[in-house]
């Protein structure tokens, strides 16, 4: 197998994975191993190119290496972009409730640490966008289920079943979506 391998084979696998993810409409586990292998291939290619350039010989291999590098890089970026799109779709599908996604262990194990960061930042960005639409920020809510201590802008609040609170909408919106709180 290794004899017949050519540059870009791994990248194809990666893109196929994206394609499979689309077709089956599921988020597959982040393929860290494959991504690393491709990055290693990129480094090797760069070294090969560098030695060629150093020898000063004009060689057609240069073009092959260059094409492989460009292609691999594009596949890597496409793979990550595809995942970002899926993550955003997921985020919206569950009503912008980020804790809901992150507390889901099987789902979380499919994400890379950078993707978790990405989701957090995306959440912050979306919240900022939404804040511009709602002018009345305060909401009276009723606690339907105990949900522990939540840190809000007004300080930590311990939500106990049956209590009522006046809170900032942005702080507790995800709890409403998940059914812990209810607007009064």
Q: Can you state the angle between helices 113-131 and 169-177, rounded to 10 degrees?
A: 120
62 belongs to the binding site for another protein (CB under 8 A): no
- Per DSSP, the three-state class of 48 is helix
Which has the closest alpha carbon to 138: 165, 175, 159? 165
132 belongs to the binding site for another protein (CB under 8 A): yes
Residue 76's H or E segment, with its range, is: helix 61-93
Site for another protein in 69-98 (CB under 8 A): 69-70, 73-74, 76-77, 80-81, 84, 88, 92
60 belongs to the binding site for another protein (CB under 8 A): no
| Distance (Å, whole) CA 69 – CA 148 | 51
Q: Which two tokens stand for residue 13?
A: 């696998």
Which has the closest alpha carbon to 62: 74, 53, 71? 53
How far apart are CB 161 and another protein at their closest, in Å?
25
22 belongs to the binding site for another protein (CB under 8 A): no
Which has the closest alpha carbon to 126: 100, 91, 154? 91
- Per DSSP, the three-state class of 31 is coil
How far apart are CB 107 and another protein at their closest, in Å?
18
Query: In Å, how far from its chain's centre is CA 108?
Result: 10
| Distance (Å, whole) CA 61 – CA 52 | 8
How far apart are CB 160 and another protein at their closest, in Å?
27
How far apart are CB 50 and another protein at their closest, in Å?
9
117 belongs to the binding site for another protein (CB under 8 A): yes
What is the size of the binding site for another protein (CB under 8 A)? 32
Strands 181-183 and 164-168: unpaired
Site for another protein in 143-172 (CB under 8 A): none
Q: Nearer Cβ to another protein, position 16 or 121?
A: 121
39 belongs to the binding site for another protein (CB under 8 A): yes
177 belongs to the binding site for another protein (CB under 8 A): no
Contact footprint for another protein (CB under 8 A): 35-36, 39, 42-43, 46, 66, 69-70, 73-74, 76-77, 80-81, 84, 88, 92, 112, 114-115, 117-118, 121-122, 125, 128-129, 132-133, 135-136
């Amino acid at each position: 197998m290794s004899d017949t391998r050519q540059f870009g084979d791994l990248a194809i696998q990666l893109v196929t994975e994206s394609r499979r993810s689309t077709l089956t409409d599921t988020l597959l586990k982040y393929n860290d191993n494959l991504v690393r292998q491709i990055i290693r291939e990129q480094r090797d290619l760069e070294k090969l190119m560098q030695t060629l350039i150093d020898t000063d010989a004009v060689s057609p291999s240069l073009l092959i290496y260059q094409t492989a590098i460009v292609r691999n890089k594009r596949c890597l970026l496409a793979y990550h972009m595809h995942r970002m799109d899926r993550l955003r779709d997921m985020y919206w599908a569950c009503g912008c409730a980020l804790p809901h996604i992150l507390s889901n262990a099987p789902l979380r194990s499919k994400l890379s640490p950078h993707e978790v960061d990405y989701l957090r930042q995306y959440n912050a960005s979306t919240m900022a966008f939404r804040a511009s639409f709602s002018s009345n920020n305060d909401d009276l809510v009723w606690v339907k289920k105990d949900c522990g201590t939540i840190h809000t802008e007004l300080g930590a609040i311990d939500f106990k079943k049956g209590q009522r609170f006046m809170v900032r909408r942005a702080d507790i919106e995800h709890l409403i979506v998940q059914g812990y709180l209810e607007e009064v």
